[in-house]
Each structure stands twice: as structure tokens, then as C-alpha cells.
Structure 1
């Protein structure tokens, strides 16, 4: 591992730990963490590898950051996910670059699905969740009319899944580069 990669992973690790704590405790991923993460990642990539291409340098960080953040855009635009999650994903992509960002996207998705299932079971909301999903599909199929009753929003701190999936991707990248 190069000194620059060590620095990037250290900054990323600190940002992820802070984001998990603030997401769990305050339901927020802070801009003061995500923006510097992106700037440091892209700056170090530019400084150490130059403009580069898809697999190294600034371009790799930009494309990977935008691509990983884009995975959460539909959820953020519909208000189902916070913009802090999107920015944190952008920072993760900027640090990891291509192709490691592909593994990170997959691992973060798996960690998020696992987290959602565990949360639903832990809170005893299995049947409520299944019924709500059935109602949504019935409304889409026009078998039921849309309710005007407000739907209760649940907070699942996706920063936890982002951190777990990212650490998993970092481990995967390190074990496959040896």
C-alpha cells in the first residue's frame, strides 16, 4: 500500500466513524465531514497521480464519486434518504476510485439490505412492513385507492451500511491486491 493510499484510507476511516456516530445519534451526516473528505480525496489523487484516467488519478476519483453517489439520488430526491448519505457515498467513491468503487457499491447495498431486515425484526415491525408493502403494490396496480393518512417515516441510519460496506470493500481490495 502506498503512503497516499494509506492517507486516503485513514481520512476515509475517520470520516466513516464520525458519520456513523452522528447518523445514529442525530440522524445527520455532517457536511463538515463529507466535503473535506471529497476535497482531500480528489486533491491527493490529483497531486499523486495527476489527472489520470478511469483507473487512477483525479478522473477516477470524480467518476467513482459521482457514480457511487448517483446510486442514492432516487432515494434522496423522493425524501426517503438524506443528502448526507449521498455526499458520503461521493466521498467514498472519490477515495476508492475505480474498480474498487464497484465492490463498494455492491457491499454497501448488501450491508444496507441486511441492516434494514435486522432493524425491522428488532423493532417488531415485520408484519407492518409487509402490509405496507402490499398496500403500496395494490395502489400501484390500482386495486386500492391511495390513502390520505400520512405514512410514518422510519429512520434507518444508512451511514452504518455505508461504513460497513466500505470497510468490506477496503478489506476486499487489500486482500485481492496481495
Structure 2
């Protein structure tokens, strides 16, 4: 929840939150389940945390997402473990898509967004030059989607395990 607040207010997900999250999650996994395997313990947390973070690296490298989002997703993976991390990734993606649509509609940027998409396609199809006026970057605090999707996955896991 700290990351949601800092992402919304300051566009930052702090390392002082994400690094301890990863260390504590992996420590708890090691303490409760030992080294484990893909489904339990330390290995499950490591594989899930690294895997979930790696999915977002291309977005961070292209500047479409911050590195704080990547590290927070790594923390989510370390906490959730495998296979629950798969549900978390799906629910986070759905929450992020919903958040983006609501934000674009709320800010009245539907036509601006559609024209930017068309412009990008036209550049790729070589109908426009790459120097065509790029759209202004928008900030959608993905920390909100990460939190909502993670809680959704935890709820889903709890209701489907009984």
C-alpha cells in the first residue's frame, strides 16, 4: 500500500519498500518451507520473483514503465510463489488495462490516445516519418494495478483452494 501512495503522489515506487519486501518474502519462504522446489519454498519465490520482474524489463527499457514497477512485481512474485504468481500476473494485467481505460476516459484523452496509436502504426508501416510529432507521455501509476491485481489473485487463490 505504501507503493500505491508513493506512485500516485510522487510517481515513485521506493527501493526502501521493494528490497525489504523481496528479502523478507524469500526469508519467510526459506524459514517455513526450506529450499523447496518450483511449488514451495525459496526456489518457488526466487523463480516467481525473477520471472515476474523479467516480463516487465522490456517495458522499463523502452521507458513505458518505471524500474520501481519491475522491482515491485519481483516482490509480488517472491511473496506469491509458483503457481499463484501466474494468477497474479493475469489479474495485474487486467487491473492495469482497466485502470488505463478508465484514466484515458476520465481525462478526456480517448481521441488523443487513438491518434497516437494510429500515428505509431503509420510510422511502422512507413506511411509517416519517425520524426512525426510523438504523443506526450502519460503517467498511469501501475503500482495501483499491481496492488489490486495482487489482492485479486490472493482472493482468487483463497476461494479456489477450499
Number of matched pairs: 162
Provide the residue aligned with 1:135 in structure 2.
119
> Is 1:20 paired with 2:1?
no
CA shift, 1:152, in A, is 1.3
Structure 1 residue ranges, 4+ long, deviating more than 6 angstroms after superposition = none
What's the offset of the Cα at 1:73?
A: 0.9
1:11-90 equivalent positions in 2, closer than 5 A: 17-90=1-74
Determine the structure 2 residue equivalent to 1:158. Answer: 142
Contact 2:7 2:143 in 1 (8 A): yes
TM-score by length of 1: 0.89
1:174 counterpart residue number: 158
Structure 1 stretches lacking a partner, 5+ long: 1-16
Match of 1:124 in 2: 108
Q: Which runs of 5+ in 2 are unaligned?
A: none
Distance 1:110 1:71 in 2: 15
Q: What TM-score results when the alignment is normalised by the length of structure 2?
A: 0.97
Secondary structure class of the residue paired with 1:143: coil
Q: Distance in 2 between matches of 1:157 and 1:136?
A: 23
Report Cα offsets for 1:85-107 as digits up to 9, x if no partner.
00000000000001100000000
Following superposition, the deviation at residue 148 of structure 1 comes to 5.5
SS, match of residue 98 in structure 1: coil
Report the equivalent of 1:99.
Answer: 83
CA contact (8 A) 2:116 2:134 kept: no
Deviation of 1:74 (Å) = 0.9
What is the CA-CA distance between 1:147 and the residue it aligns to? 2.1
Query: Relative to structure 2, which stretch is displaced further, 143-152 or 27-36?
Result: 143-152
User: 2:124 and 2:60 mapped to 1: Cα distance?
Assistant: 21
| Pairwise CA RMSD | 0.9
Q: State the alpha-carbon separation in 2 of the partners of residues 34 and 64 from structure 1.
A: 15
